[in-house]
Chain A
Amino acid sequence: MSKDKIIKVLVCKPGLDGHDRGAKVLARALRDAGMEVIYTGIHQTPDDIVNTVIQEDPDAVMLSILSGSHNALCPIIMQKLKDQGIDDVLVAVGGIIPDEDKPFLEEQGLKGFYGPGTNLSTIVEFVKNNLKR
C-alpha cells in the first residue's frame, strides 16, 4: 500500500462499563495526530467490535476497559478476530489493567497496555510504531 496511507483506528468500549472519558480523549488525540478515528461508543459486544473491524478495516483497535472485565472480554474478541482470519490488526487495551494480567493478555495477541495517567503522545507513538501492516 502507498506510503501516504492514513492510519485508521477503532476506539471502542467493550462490556457494560460507561467510563468513556479516556476513550474519548484518546480518540481526539489520535485524530489530532492525523489519524482517522472511529469511536464506536460504549456497550460494545465482542460481535459488535469484530463486525466493525471487518467492515471498517482499521489498522489498529484500541479497547478501553475500566471495569475489570478485560480478562473475560479480550480473549473472546481476539478469538473472534482469529476466526475471521484477521491477524494484521494491532489490538491494544487501556484502562485499569493490573500488571499481573498482562502476560495472559499478551498471549492472546494483545499488545500495548495503557493505564490512567499515560501520556497521550505515548499512545500515539505506540500506534504509529506497532502497526502490523
Chain B
Amino acid sequence: MDYSDLTKSLIKGNTRAAARLITIVENDIEAAEVIINSIYQHTGKAYILGVTGSPGSGKSTFISTLTKSYIDLGKKVGIICVDPTSPLTGGALLGDRIRMKQYFSLDNVFIRSMANRGQLGGLARATEDVIKILDVYGCDIIIVETVGVGQSEVDIFKSAQSVVVLVVPGLGDEIQAIKAGIMEITDIFVVNKMDLPGADKKVADIMQMLEFKKSYKYESEGVGDKFMKIDKWTPEITKVNSKTGENFDNLLKLINKHKTFLQDSGVISNYMKNRIKNETIQILKHKLTKKAEELIHSNNKIEEFIEKAIKKSLDPYSLAGEILKLFFEK
C-alpha cells in the first residue's frame, strides 16, 4: 500500500489524514512501519504530557480544563484516551470523549480514543505511533490519558516528558497505589477537586511521602527495566478545581518548570535515549513474537517436538530451545 498521499496531507495538517493514519497504525504494524518511516523526520515538536489517576479522580474534567488552558494560549492540543480492552471479547467501550467536548473545535483539539488491546501497562501498542502522527499533524501538546492508576501504569512515562498524577481528597486507597510505584514516575502531583474538604490534608500526605523520596526517571538496560535515580527534581504538588479552572495557571507554570528542568539539566537527552531504546524493544518484541508464532504454526519439525512434549519426553524449555535453534537457522 502507498500511504504517501496521506502522509503528505498529514504534514500539511490535514485532520482526516491524521485520523485515517491513526486507524492504519493501530491495526497494521507493517503499514505502521512504512508510515512512521516517512514521517519520522518531522516529529519532535510536541510536548508529551502523561496524565493518570484512579477512577473517580476526575481525569476527564481535568484534561478538559487543562486543554482549555492551552487553547487559550493559542496551542493546538492532541488528546489520546486509552481504555481497556475486554480480555474476554476483545471489544472495548471508549467513553472519555463524552466528557471532553465542551470547548473544542476541529481546529484546536484532536481527541482520539484507543483501546489498549490487551497491552499491559495501560498504553496501547500503537500509542507511540499515534503520538508521532499527532506530533507531525501539528499538536503543540499531546496529552496521553491512561486507564486508572496501578503498578502497570508506569509505562506512561516511557512516552511522556512530564507525568501528572491526579489524586482527590478522601479516597485513601490511592496513597497505597502511589507507594506501590506511581510515586517514582510522577513529576507533578495534582490534588483535584480542591473545593472538597480534605484537600489540604491530601497535599500534606503526599508531601510526607515525598520527604524521603526523589523522582526517578526511567531507564532501560538490555532486556530488563531499571529506575535511574535523579536527585535534582523533587515532584511538585499543587491543587486545582477542574470544574472552575481555579489554580490551573499555577499548574501550567509547574509543567513549564519541569520542561525547563529537563532541558537545563540535560536529563532530556537521557530521556530521549531511553525512549528510543524502549520503543525499539517493543517493536522487536512484537516482530519476534510474530515471527516465532508463524514458525510454530508452519514448521512440521515443531509439530514433532510438540508430540514429544505431550509424551513427556521433551519439556517446554527444551522445546523453546529447539525452536530458537530453528529460528536462527532460517
Contacts and interface: CB of A to CB of B under 8 A. Distances in A.
Contacts of B101: 48
A57 B112 CA distance: 9
A84 interface: yes
A96 interface: no
Interface in A1-54: 1-2, 4-6, 8, 27-28, 30-41, 48, 51-52, 54
A37 B94 CA distance: 6
Interface residues of A, number: 30
Interface in B86-143: 86, 89-95, 97-98, 101, 105-106, 110-113, 115, 117
A12 B270 CA distance: 44
B27 A30 contact: no
Top 10 nearest A-B pairs (CB, nearest first) are A31-B91, A41-B98, A57-B19, A2-B28, A34-B90, A5-B27, A57-B23, A38-B94, A34-B91, A36-B92
B92 A37 contact: yes
B-side binding surface: helix, strand, loop or mixed? Answer: mixed
A48 B95 CA distance: 15
Given A1-B27, A56-B112, A85-B16, A32 B91 contact: yes
Contacts of A5: 27-28
Interface string A46-77: 00100110111100000000000000000000
Contacts of B86: 31-32
Contact of B19 (A4, A31, A48, A54): A54
Interface of A: 1-2, 4-6, 8, 27-28, 30-41, 48, 51-52, 54-57, 84-86
B93 A27 contact: yes
Nearest to B81: A38
Contacts of A28: 93
Nearest to A48: B101
B19 A56 contact: yes
A68 to B, nearest CB: 24
Nearest to A40: B98
Contact of A54 (B24, B28, B90, B106): B106
Given A2-B28, A54-B106, A57-B19, A38 B89 contact: no
B-side interface size class:
20 to 34
13 contacts: A1-B27, A2-B28, A2-B31, A5-B28, A27-B93, A32-B89, A34-B89, A38-B95, A55-B112, A56-B19, A56-B111, A57-B16, A57-B23
Nearest to B83: A36
B19 A37 contact: no
A41 B113 CA distance: 14
A52 B24 contact: no
Contacts of B115: 6, 36
Nearest to A57: B19
A36 B126 CA distance: 15
A54 B28 CA distance: 20
Nearest to B98: A41
Interface string B1-31: 0000000000000011001101110011011
Contacts of B28: 1-2, 5
Contact of B117 (A6, A38, A48): A6
A84 B23 CA distance: 18
A12 to B, nearest CB: 10
A32 B98 CA distance: 20
Given A1-B28, A52-B97, A57-B22, A35 B112 contact: no
Given A1-B28, A36-B115, A56-B112, A6 B90 contact: yes
A54 B15 contact: yes
Contact of B97 (A8, A33, A40): A40
A66 B78 CA distance: 34
B110 A37 contact: no
Contacts of A37: 91-94
Given A2-B31, A38-B113, 18 more contacts: A1-B27, A1-B31, A6-B117, A31-B86, A32-B91, A36-B85, A37-B93, A38-B94, A38-B95, A39-B94, A48-B101, A54-B19, A55-B15, A55-B19, A55-B106, A55-B110, A57-B16, A57-B20
